[in-house]
Amino acid sequence: MLELTLVRHGETDANRKNAFLGWTDPDLNQTGIRQAYLIKNKLADQPLNAVFTSPLKRAFQTAQIINRPHGLEIRTLEALKERNFGIWDNLTLADIQKSYPAQAENWLTQADYPIPDGENAERFHGRIERFLDELLQNYSSGRILIVCHGGCVRIMLASLLGLKKEDCWRFKVDTGSIAKVELNDDRYAFLTLLNG
């Protein structure tokens, strides 16, 4: 059996204001640091075989704290970055609608609208799914920790569970939370934890 432990990084000030936080790179705030330590304590007695993380500070800092009892190499991968929100990065939906009303309307009504200077949904989904494919080729058993971002976790859950791409929005993934997916020997996936 292979268990994937998917962690969304701890809170940042941008998360607190409900901004679209993509490649902007803030540190964890004090709440986020506390969340990372809570996850560390929850996972301290669960052996890990590998740790992967986004290179963005909020994810990497979370991974460093969680990894302390395990002492494993932390592998940072560009593929695990959050979606690039381009000119809308670190803005709230209200900010976007005020400053870019026509583009915001297109984005809200067209599933694959390309954000100016950013990343469209297809490209974002593609890089997360390529990461998963490679991971599943390299690991058939054990427990893998992946520390990344809300969008990444949602895409992984939908992909692993055989859902449509747009179904990723059916998962609410809190900051500083754990999701777990178990894959049996036939690679059939079971969601065993969400927002733990």
Indicate whether 111 pLDDT > 80: no
Q: pLDDT at position 114, please?
A: 85
Write out pLDDT tens, residues 138-186.
999 999 999 999 999 999 999 999 999 999 999 999 999 999 999 999 9
Domains of the chain by residue range: 2-139+150-185
Using pLDDT thresholds of 50, 70 and 90, give the confidence band for residue 95.
very high
**If pLDDT is split at 50, 70 and 90, which confidence band does 108 have?**
confident
**Catalytic residue IDs:** 9, 82
- Tens digit of each residue's pLDDT (9 = 90 or more) over 125-137: 999 999 999 999 9
Q: What number is the average pLDDT over the span 78-83?
A: 98
Give the CATH superfamily of 2-139+150-185: Phosphoglycerate mutase-like (3.40.50.1240)
What backbone torsions phi and psi does residue 43 show, to the nearest 5 degrees?
-100, 0
Full strand arrangement of the beta sheet holding 177-183: 74-76, 50-53, 142-148, 2-8, 177-183, 189-193
CA dist list (Å): 61 to 7, 12, 34, 79: 12, 11, 12, 17
pTM of the complete model: 0.96
- Asked whether residue 113 carries a pLDDT value surpassing 90, the answer given is no
Tokens of 62: 């979370």
pLDDT value of residue 26 = 97
pLDDT of 112:
80
pLDDT band at 110 (very low <50, low <70, confident <90, very high): confident
- Left (φ > 0), alpha (ψ -120 to 50) or beta: where does 104 sit? alpha
pLDDT digits (tens, 9 = 90+) for 17-58: 999 999 999 999 999 999 999 999 999 999 999 999 999 999
pLDDT over 90 at 65, yes or no: yes
